[in-house]
């Protein structure tokens, strides 16, 4: 049974490698997932061999476990951090892996699953040290990965006009929670057995956990695209001219004066009223910055200071006004309220109802009854 689980995990990992190698459009996050899946395939495949890898290759396959945490953290970073790029300093993540590889290359290799009794197997002391550091590494990367996701979720209203399953990374919080339950339990059990020599489990559950975890990462990972890439617009309109005493690009990287903020704020409002780009439910700060030919930094400053609100609230106010206009438009009488909301850029009934009530003080149904009693909308 244990070998069957390993075979399933091995085949599943190779399948994951194939998927993320060929997934389009290319994104750095897929590179990290491909490498992660490849390492899991090596780990699972090694367990199916009729001999111990350390007998022929001193470092063995155990050191690759020190790469799983960093790769998962870098995967999260590539999704949650705008314009994320690999930098030389990130090579520091490789240090624990390299130190273990180098040290195991200089001593007699001992399988990590070997007999932990130091009287019979004194060299196993090094494995205990390795595994203790691995436990610290796993906890650290789990903590920093979760912290990064939570920070990203706080920044969503500053950049996006809608919340959705792709930009909230809710599934990754689920994965991290599952990781905590499965892997920490597995590692702790192994730690108690091999490091503290307390026999509390006959078999390791690591392969079983890796198989489950790999399946979940393939399932969710294939549906997760880059968060900060600009989606294709549903319509294309000429760029408006936005001026603030001089051309807006002049102020890139600098703070705007009150007069410039006021001027740009008026231009942005005119642009939104005339072109209505918010009808695209994927509309975001980058798309507005591209349309207005202004830096995102300055655009954020104008919205936050000039409008006294974040991007999410600012755009959805325009959507609510658009909904109210269409509710009064006889040509939309055959639409349901939700249908109108979706036409105006909202992406869910729950979000629309909440925002509409915040802006008007009424639910959409109450608004129709109190403001438009004869319109007959559904």
Which pLDDT tens digit goes with each residue over 159-204? Answer: 999 999 889 999 999 988 888 877 777 766 766 665 665 565 555 5
Nearest of 57, 151, 155 to residue 105 by alpha carbon? 57
Tell me: the pLDDT tens digits for 41-53?
999 998 888 888 8
CA–CA distance, 268 with 299 (Å, rounded to integer):
9
Residue that wins the pLDDT comparison between 101 and 377? 101
Residues forming CATH 1.10.10.60 domain(s) in the chain = 243-371
What's the mean pLDDT in 139-158?
94
State which fold the 243-371 domain adopts. Answer: Arc Repressor Mutant, subunit A (1.10.10)
Whole-angstrom CA distances from 168 to 182, 183, 225 are 23, 24, 12
Structure tokens belonging to residue 249? 């690009």
| Mean pLDDT, residues 26-43 taken together | 93
Cα separation, 204 vs 6, whole angstroms:
12
CATH 1.20.1070.10 in the chain is located at 2-221
Instruction: Identify the CATH homologous superfamily for domain 2-221.
Output: Rhodopsin 7-helix transmembrane proteins (1.20.1070.10)
Question: What are the DSSP calls for 317-370, one per residue?
Answer: HHHHHHHHHHHT-GGGTTS-HHHHHHHTT---HHHHHHHHHHHHSS-HHHHHHH
Closest CA to 358 of 326, 319, 327: 319
Token pair recorded at residue 59:
């470092």
Per cent of the chain over pLDDT 90 is 52
């Amino acid at each position: 049974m244990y070998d069957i689980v390993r075979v399933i995990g091995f085949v599943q990992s190779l399948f994951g490698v194939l998927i993320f190698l060929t997934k389009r459009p290319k994104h750095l996050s897929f590179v990290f997932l491909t490498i992660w899946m490849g390492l899991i395939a090596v780990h699972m495949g090694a367990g199916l061999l009729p001999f111990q890898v350390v007998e022929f290759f001193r470092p063995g396959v155990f050191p690759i476990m020190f790469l799983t945490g960093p790769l998962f953290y870098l995967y999260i970073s590539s999704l949650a951090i705008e314009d994320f790029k690999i930098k030389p300093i990130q090579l520091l993540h490789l240090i624990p892996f390299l130190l273990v590889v180098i040290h195991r290359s200089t001593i007699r290799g001992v399988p990590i699953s070997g007999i932990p009794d130091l009287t019979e197997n004194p060299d196993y002391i090094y494995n205990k040290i390795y595994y203790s550091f691995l436990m610290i590494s796993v906890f650290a990367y789990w903590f920093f990965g979760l912290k990064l996701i939570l920070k990203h979720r706080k920044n969503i209203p500053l950049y996006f006009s809608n919340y959705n399953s792709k930009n909230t990374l809710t599934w990754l919080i689920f994965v991290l929670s599952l990781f905590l339950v499965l892997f920490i339990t597995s590692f702790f059990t192994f730690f108690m057995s091999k490091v503290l020599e307390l026999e509390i489990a006959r078999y390791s559950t690591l392969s079983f956990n890796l198989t489950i975890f790999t399946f979940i990462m393939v399932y969710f990972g294939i549906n997760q695209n880059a968060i900060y890439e600009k989606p294709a617009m549903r319509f294309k309109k000429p760029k408006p001219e936005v001026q603030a005493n001089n051309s807006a690009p002049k102020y890139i990287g600098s703070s705007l004066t009150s007069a410039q903020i006021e001027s740009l704020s008026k231009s942005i409002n005119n642009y939104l009223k005339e072109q209505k780009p918010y009808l695209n439910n994927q509309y975001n700060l980058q798309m507005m910055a591209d349309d207005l030919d202004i830096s995102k930094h300055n655009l954020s400053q104008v919205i936050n200071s000039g409008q006294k609100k974040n991007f999410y609230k600012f755009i959805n106010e325009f959507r609510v006004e658009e909904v109210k206009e269409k509710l009064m438009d006889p040509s939309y009488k055959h639409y349901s309220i939700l249908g109108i909301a979706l036409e105006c850029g909202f992406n869910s009934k729950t979000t629309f109802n909440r925002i509409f009530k915040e802006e008007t003080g009424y639910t959409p149904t109450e608004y129709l009854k109190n403001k438009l009693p004869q319109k007959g909308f559904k």
